[in-house]
Amino acid sequence: MEHFIHIVLHYLKEIIPALAIGFFISGLVHEFIPEDIVLKYLGAKGIKPILYSTLIGTFLPVCCWGTLPIAVSFYKKGARLGPILSFLIATPATSISALLVAYSVLGLQFTAYIFFAVIVMGVVVGLIGNTIKYTPKGLKEEDICPHCKLDSSHIHTHKKTPFQRVISILKYAYIELPKEIGVELFLGLILAALVSTFVPIGRLIRLYLSGWLSYIFSVIFGIIMYICSTATVPLVDSLIKQGMNPGAGMTLLLIGPVTSYGTLLVLRKEFGMKVLTIFLVSLTVISLLLGLGFQVLQGNSLRADEPALSNVKEVNLEAFQYGFSPDPLVIKKGEDVKLVITSRDVTHGVHIKEYNINVAAKKGETSYAEFLPGKAGEFEIICSIYCGSGHNSMKGKLIVKE
């Protein structure tokens, strides 16, 4: 329990400064970039409205639930489907506060990639959406502006004094926004702390979520569950620290905030099954590809500067054309092992299927793979990256002794 509280406090310490700044900037954006401006740019034809809606959506501090009524009203006012879908993706997928929290928790590389990925996702799905023919629904009672009783499809604003603006910014930043995402944020933190604290969860993640299965988990979990973009960050951080594939973590970061089971139902009701299917399929494919792209960029190995655990035994393994040294590699069952992998010549891949290890060994670099040999026996080590004409015969043996 103590460890659990310690982790919750650690995350709070990490994210509270970022949240405070992020919420304030979100309040400014909310006050000075009103919805009518967004609408002005969504109605036009071509790729420009898609770009506008994606970029605006990237910074707007609205969750997937908050995005829905806006998108529905745009839809009823006759905006093209492409910009609407871009908006539906880019807006909940990230926000200023989410980007700041991501920077403080996950670092610059993750944050820059999220920003880039959300734009790619929004633009691609928008372009797909523009190819679909559909008829917008008519205007209803609720489309009348509550302040001036004008048809809200006409772009208009309500004047405020500077004092009213300051109050409005602060109210949105520190009352409405925390009310909107506070519960999810808290749940996200609790989930993150649980993942980090519970040893069995960590084991499960290392066993099943370090490979390609993690992508399936991310897609299903991300589509069904709702976690806001800011709350997803600590959860993904803890999953990755427990051994989840970073690419799948990125997929979860991208898809998780965009949809939930509830939003899917609303989408189906408002936009129809065809649009929902296209939205979901394209969102899934693109977020998977972007996750894989991130994994490729990161490489599959642990970082060289990662600190070694004190009770882990380090074992050297050298790959060369076309074999491994030592061969056989002998280790003891039940003893945590850290493979220190190097390459003598070209890039090789060290793959041990039974222990879910697949690490690239680049020449001049050191890669690491940690695992707990729980099963005694003889296992094959194969090279998983093409390294020359003898690649097909390159193998070694791992012996795990009782």
Partner 1 sequence: MKDKRIIVALLLTALFVIKIPQEGWRFIFWVLGGVSFSAMLDFFINKVIFKKVILPKSAVITGFIVSGVLDHHQDWLILILFCALAIISKHIIKFKGHHIFNPANFGLFFAALFKLPLTWKIESNIFLIIVVGLYLAYFYKKLFHVAGFLLFFITLSSVVAINAFAIISWFFIFIMLIEPKTSGYGIVRGFVFGSIAGTASFLLFRFIPTIDFFVTALFIANAFNPILEKIKR
43 binds partner 1 (CB under 8 A): no
- Which amino acid, 84? I
The phi, psi pair for 351, rounded to 5°, reads: -120, 120
- By CB under 8 A, the count of residues binding partner 1 is 31
**Nearer Cβ to partner 1, position 101 or 357?**
357
**Residue in 147, 164, 392, 401 binding partner 1, rule: CB under 8 A:** 392
* Nearest in space to 29 (alpha carbons), one of 57, 1, 68, 69: 57
Smallest gap from residue 227 Cβ to partner 1 (A)? 25
Cα distances (angstroms) measured from residue 389 to each of 124, 140, 348, 386, 394: 39, 69, 13, 8, 10
**Residue in 345, 366, 377, 401 binding partner 1, rule: CB under 8 A:** 345
**Nearer Cβ to partner 1, position 306 or 345?**
345
Query: Contact 368/394 with Cβ under 8 angstroms?
Result: no
Q: Which two tokens stand for residue 201?
A: 């969860």
**Nearer Cβ to partner 1, position 168 or 356?**
356
Length of the chain: 402
**Residue in 41, 347, 368, 372 binding partner 1, rule: CB under 8 A:** 347
Helix (H, G, I), strand (E, B) or coil at 361: strand
Rounded Cα–Cα distance for residues 25 and 21 (Å): 6
With CB under 8 A as the contact rule, which of the stretches 55-63, 176-184, 305-313, 348-356 interacts with partner 1? 348-356
Rounded Cα–Cα distance for residues 265 and 277 (Å): 12
Helix (H, G, I), strand (E, B) or coil at 379: strand
In the region spanning residues 192 to 211, those forming contacts with partner 1, defined by CB under 8 A, are 211
391 binds partner 1 (CB under 8 A): yes
* Nearest in space to 340 (alpha carbons), one of 380, 310, 308, 311: 308
Residue with tokens 């695992």: 371
With CB under 8 A as the contact rule, which of the stretches 53-61, 164-172, 269-277, 357-365 interacts with partner 1? 357-365
Helix (H, G, I), strand (E, B) or coil at 302: coil
Cα distances (angstroms) measured from residue 28 to each of 33, 39, 164, 170, 230: 8, 19, 13, 9, 18
215 binds partner 1 (CB under 8 A): yes
Q: Which two tokens stand for residue 193?
A: 């702390």
**Nearer Cβ to partner 1, position 57 or 349?**
349
For 288, other C-beta atoms within 10 Å of its C-beta total 20
The phi, psi pair for 222, rounded to 5°, reads: -65, -40
**Residue in 186, 261, 393, 401 binding partner 1, rule: CB under 8 A:** 393
380 binds partner 1 (CB under 8 A): yes
Smallest gap from residue 269 Cβ to partner 1 (A)? 31
34 binds partner 1 (CB under 8 A): no
CA atoms within 13 A on the CB side of 370: 18
Query: Contact 395/319 with Cβ under 8 angstroms?
Result: no
With CB under 8 A as the contact rule, which of the stretches 94-102, 151-159, 271-279, 346-354 interacts with partner 1? 346-354
**Nearer Cβ to partner 1, position 153 or 342?**
342
With CB under 8 A as the contact rule, which of the stretches 40-48, 168-176, 235-243, 345-353 interacts with partner 1? 345-353
In the region spanning residues 69 to 88, those forming contacts with partner 1, defined by CB under 8 A, are none
**Nearer Cβ to partner 1, position 186 or 386?**
386
338 binds partner 1 (CB under 8 A): no
**Nearer Cβ to partner 1, position 126 or 291?**
291
Q: Which two tokens stand for residue 205?
A: 């993640």
In the region spanning residues 271 to 330, those forming contacts with partner 1, defined by CB under 8 A, are 289, 292, 295-296, 299-300, 321
Residue 401 host element (H or E):
strand 395-401
**Nearer Cβ to partner 1, position 114 or 352?**
352
Residue with tokens 């990230």: 94
**Residue in 351, 372, 397, 399 binding partner 1, rule: CB under 8 A:** 351
Contact residues for partner 1, defined by CB under 8 A: 211-212, 215, 289, 292, 295-296, 299-300, 321, 345-347, 349, 351, 353, 358, 360, 362, 380, 382-389, 391-393
